[in-house]
């Protein structure tokens, strides 16, 4: 078999492995993503639980990068602390390494079982949760099959005269091998896929254990770069956790490489075979980084904030008023399906503006000036203009003959637009007034009061993002979670109000001065949450999941 054919087969096997890994990841996200996110938010208050939560989520999603991005968004929204986010990512790296270890066992019998069961579950029902479980099973089967294909495709390389030369070169130049492994991992966008590939090749005698350890360290460097690259255009607060992971895992891999090159330790203790030694080296490295990361989580997060701040330019208030193009194409009015798609795009833009307003308003409670207040008010004007344009556009769409589903979607979009405008009005006409009052009178919240208010706002902001997703995806599971979150928020409101009244009873001067602002802000945020939650009702009602005004059990 020619070398080009061998490489073609190997590339195809690797491509299948990458596709299967992504298939499992998307299946888990679609079936259990909202539940996992919700559980993660609730369990990350405790450092140990943060590590365990990150580990479990990485095993479920088969991706430490996905967990890093998710935790980064939580930290950016203020839902979890930065230190807890760092620990969750450390746990995610352990979870990713555990998945790699599990996939090195002989699981060939699972291939037909997973493919058969997964295909039956996917094709025999229209239930979304069962179909996603079927997708997960098929993905697992294809992933195991791809590992067998990699082994078979690499078999001819044993007899290659060029392969020993390449291995000898990289064995003598560990820095180049380290960087190439990092590049491969970045291209794969998966440390699991990269380590499995190297372990499989090592099992065929194509990679020496010593070279494998160097490559594993390179894999960890490449994996730590992925999340910062994917979030380079995100808000500064979201980028802090990925940058912290780069500091710990990326710098750790470089330090470990230097130590390995200097001391040349014997690695026989890592396992009986070359593939075991490579996978176990991957696990050991991440355990060491976890142990080092426990006491350093807070320090690393602060250093990450400073690094992110160095590369972040302050956004001028005027940029919030940037003009955007409209998706309301008049030429599509004769095609209701296309016109509704255009209107959906425009409503999504309104959602984005409202999200910016909701995020900015809490920042103004801490640091406000006339220019920032003016810029936020200008955003409400933009919401009003888009709202009016969307209503007129949808009114023109209704002049055409529409199906029942199209008519319902049209009403749903109009209703969502009205609610978004009302949210904007609450932010500007109510909450911005509180900001001005606090600024004019020079008032300050107590640390406890501000913490309660920030946490309550973070919950509402998270629910807002979930509501916007429901508007686009119309996912009943996400809609149900949003309505359940409304009940949880009611409990949080009671707790925040109770804590506030306790401070008033104790006679805390700051609590007394800011009492009306505190309570009115909680009330306004609760009203915002109720408006956004109601955007889920059409999805639930369509599927018979509402009983009157109450959510059905199930």
pLDDT tens digits, 237-278: 788 888 988 999 999 999 999 999 998 888 889 888 888 999
User: Residue 140 contacts by C-beta under 8 Å, 6 or more apart in sequence?
Assistant: 20, 24, 110, 114, 118
- Cα–Cα distance list, 8 to 150, 153, 199 (Å): 11, 9, 19
Q: Which residue has the higher pLDDT, 249 or 514?
A: 249
508 compared with 66, residue with greater pLDDT: 66
Q: What is the pLDDT of residue 279?
A: 92
Residue 314 has pLDDT above 60, yes or no: no
pLDDT-derived band at 2 (thresholds 50, 70, 90) equals low
- pLDDT in the model for residue 318: 44
Confidence tier at 110 by pLDDT (50, 70, 90): confident
Torsion of CA 52, 223, 163, 284, to 10 degrees: -30
The residue-averaged pLDDT of 100-110 equals 84
Query: Residue 506: which pLDDT band, with cuts at 50, 70 and 90?
Result: low
Range of weakest confidence among 248-262, 316-330, 478-492? 316-330
pLDDT tens, position by position, 160-181 = 777 778 888 888 899 999 999 9
How confident is residue 152, by pLDDT bands cut at 50, 70 and 90? confident
**Which tokens is 240 given?**
């802090």
Residue 34 in this model has a pLDDT that exceeds 60: no
CA angle 18, 19, 21 (to 5 degrees): 65
Q: Over pLDDT 70: what percentage of the chain? A: 87
Across the range 482-507, mean pLDDT stands at: 76
User: DSSP assignment of 383-415, as one string?
Assistant: HHHHHHHHHHHHHHHTTS---HHHHHHHHHHHH
Out of 394-403, 418-427, 497-506, give the one with best mean pLDDT: 418-427
pLDDT of residue 317: 46
User: pLDDT value at position 508?
Assistant: 61
Topology at the third CATH level for domain 443-554: Methane Monooxygenase Hydroxylase; Chain G, domain 1 (1.20.58)
C-beta of residue 260 within 8 angstroms of C-beta of residue 98: no
First to last CA, the chain: 58
Domain with CATH 1.20.58.220 in the chain: 443-554
Of the given ranges (29-33, 225-229, 315-319, 397-401), which has the lowest mean pLDDT? 315-319
pLDDT digits (tens, 9 = 90+) for 55-86: 887 787 777 877 787 777 767 656 566 677 78
pLDDT score of 553 = 47
Reported as a single tens digit per residue, the pLDDT across 19-32 is 888 888 777 767 66
Residue 513 has pLDDT above 70, yes or no: no
Span 502-510, mean pLDDT? Answer: 64
Tell me the per-residue pLDDT of 401-426, one tens digit each, with 9 for 90 and over. Answer: 888 888 888 888 989 999 999 999 99
**Percent over 90 (pLDDT), the chain:** 15
Ramachandran angles phi, psi of 546, nearest 5°:
-115, 140
Residue 401: which residues within 8 A CB-CB, separation 6 or more? 336
pLDDT at residue 548, rounded to an integer: 52
Question: Does pLDDT of 158 surpass 80?
Answer: no
Average pLDDT over every residue of 436-452: 81
The pLDDT assigned to 179 comes to: 94
Residues with Cβ within 8 Å of residue 483, at least 6 apart in sequence: 533, 536, 537, 540, 551
3-state secondary structure 4-64: HHHHHHHHHHHHHHHHHHHHHHHHHHHHHHHHHHHHHHHHCCCHHHHHHHHHHHHHHHCCH
Average pLDDT, the chain: 82
Asked which of 12-16, 147-151, 340-344 is least confident by mean pLDDT, the reply is 147-151
Angle of helix 432-441 versus helix 336-366 axis, rounded to 10: 20
Q: Is the pLDDT of residue 6 over 90?
A: no
């Amino acid at each position: 078999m020619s070398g080009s054919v061998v490489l073609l087969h190997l590339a195809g096997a690797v491509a299948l492995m990458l596709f299967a890994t992504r298939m499992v990841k998307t299946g888990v996200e679609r079936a259990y993503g909202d539940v996992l996110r919700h559980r993660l938010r609730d369990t990350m208050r405790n450092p140990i639980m943060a590590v365990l939560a990150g580990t479990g989520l990485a095993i479920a999603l088969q991706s430490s990068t996905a967990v890093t991005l998710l935790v980064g968004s939580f930290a950016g929204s203020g839902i979890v602390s930065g230190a807890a986010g760092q620990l969750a990512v450390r746990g995610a790296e352990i979870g990713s390494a555990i998945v790699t270890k599990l996939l090195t066992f002989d699981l060939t019998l699972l291939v037909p079982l997973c493919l058969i069961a997964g295909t039956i579950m996917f094709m025999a029902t229209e239930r979304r949760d069962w179909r996603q479980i079927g997708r997960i099973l098929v993905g697992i089967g294809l992933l195991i099959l791809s590992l067998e294909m990699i082994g078979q495709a690499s078999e001819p390389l044993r007899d290659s005269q060029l392969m020993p030369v390449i291995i000898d070169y990289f064995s003598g130049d560990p820095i180049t091998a380290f960087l190439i492994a990092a590049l491969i991992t970045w291209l794969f966008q998966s440390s699991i896929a990269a380590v499995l590939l190297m372990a499989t090749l090592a099992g065929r005698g194509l990679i020496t254990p010593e070279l494998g350890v160097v490559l594993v360290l390179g894999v960890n460097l490449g994996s730590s770069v992925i999340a910062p690259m994917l979030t380079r255009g995100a808000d500064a607060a979201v980028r802090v956790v990925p940058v912290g992971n780069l500091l710990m895992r990326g710098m750790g891999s470089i330090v470990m490489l230097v130590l390995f090159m200097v001391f040349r330790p014997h690695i026989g203790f890592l396992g009986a075979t070359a593939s075991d030694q490579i996978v176990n080296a991957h696990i050991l490295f991440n355990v060491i980084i976890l142990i080092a990361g426990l006491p350093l989580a807070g320090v690393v997060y602060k250093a990450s904030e400073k690094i992110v701040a160095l590369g972040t330019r302050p956004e001028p208030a005027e940029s919030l008023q940037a003009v955007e193009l409209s998706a309301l194409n008049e030429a599509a009015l004769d095609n209701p399906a296309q016109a509704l798609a255009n209107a959906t795009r425009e409503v999504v833009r309104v959602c984005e503006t409202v999200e910016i307003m909701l995020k900015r308003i809490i920042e103004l409670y801490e640091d406000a000036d006339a220019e920032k207040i003016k810029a936020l008010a200008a955003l409400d004007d933009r919401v009003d203009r888009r709202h009016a344009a969307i209503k007129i556009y949808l009114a023109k769409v209704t002049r055409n003959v529409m199906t029942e589903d199209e008519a319902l979607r049209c009403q749903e979009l109009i209703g969502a637009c009205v609610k978004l405008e009302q949210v904007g009005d609450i932010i500007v006409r109510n909450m911005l007034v509180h900001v001005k009052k606090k600024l004019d009178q020079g008032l300050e919240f107590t640390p406890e009061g501000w913490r309660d208010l920030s946490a309550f706002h973070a919950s509402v902001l998270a629910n807002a993002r979930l509501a916007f997703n429901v508007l686009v995806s119309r996912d009943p599971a996400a809609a149900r979670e949003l309505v359940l979150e409304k009940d949880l928020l009611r409990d949080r409101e009671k707790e925040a109000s109770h804590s506030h009244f306790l401070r008033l009873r104790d006679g805390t001067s700051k609590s007394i001065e800011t009492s009306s602002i505190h309570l009115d802000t909680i009330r306004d945020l609760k009203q915002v949450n109720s408006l956004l939650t109601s955007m889920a009702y059409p999805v639930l009602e369509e599927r018979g999941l509402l009983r009157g005004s109450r959510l059905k059990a199930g």
